[in-house]
């Protein structure tokens, strides 16, 4: 059993490894960027509450 099922093997083979790696890294980087934005937003909110 494969880790990820493929509905269309022909379409799956038509995607180059470079595109696969770029897609895998793009969503990871988006999640990291989102987490950084949330942490900075929380820090700014705490700064407003702690240092009036």
| Domain-located, residue 2 | no
| Structural domain containing residue 33 | 28-52
Q: In whole angstroms, how large is the CA radius of gyration of the chain?
A: 20
Model pLDDT for residues 12-45, shown as the tens digit of each residue: 788 898 999 999 999 999 999 999 999 999 998 8
Q: Is the residue at 23 inside a domain?
A: no
Q: What's the structural domain count of the chain?
A: 1
Residue 44 lies in a domain: yes
For residue 5, pLDDT beyond 50 = yes
The predicted pLDDT at position 46 comes to 87
Whether residue 33 is contained in a domain is answered as: yes
Domain membership of residue 15 (yes or no) is no
Q: Is residue 9 a part of any domain in this protein?
A: no
22's enclosing H/E stretch is helix 17-50
């Amino acid at each position: 059993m494969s880790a990820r099922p493929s509905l269309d093997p022909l379409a799956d083979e038509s995607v180059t490894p470079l595109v696969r790696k770029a897609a895998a890294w793009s969503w990871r980087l988006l999640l990291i960027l989102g987490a950084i934005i949330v942490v900075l937003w929380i820090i700014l909110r705490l700064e407003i509450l702690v240092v009036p």
